[in-house]
Amino acid sequence: MQSYTIGQAARLLGVSPDTARRWADAGRIETHRDEGGRRVIDGRDLAAFSVELARTGSGGEEGTSYTSVRNAFPGIVTAIKLGDVAAQVEIQAGPHRLVSLLTREAVEELGLEVGMEATARVKSTNVHIDRT
């Protein structure tokens, strides 16, 4: 059976390794030691935990936003081009460059600036920007 280290599990769950470690220490998710002495989580246990986490929304991360858009790309704002009515915002999310066209008013309301963290959320052909 596939097993995952705490770091791998954290990446798959979308939380920090410290959060995943705290969950394991608190008994929220079962771990065991592999032959190298590392704490690992069985794949089936991780899958069940991730489904429960998504169902209950009890991730415990501060600043969690609630949305129906599932494809989230946290990153950094790299460019903003403002027009009279429309705006273009670019976000670099790891290896992904995302560009969103939105209203100037939305950019101003979100207080978006180059260099700040933001999350691009993609649903179908639309990209939504959440300030983080």
Per-residue model confidence as pLDDT tens digits over 37-64: 999 999 989 888 888 887 776 555 545 5
Is 23 in contact with 13 (CB distance < 8 Å)? no
- 11-26 pLDDT tens trace: 888 888 899 999 999 9
Predicted TM-score of the model (pTM): 0.48
Number of H helices, E strands in the chain: 4, 8
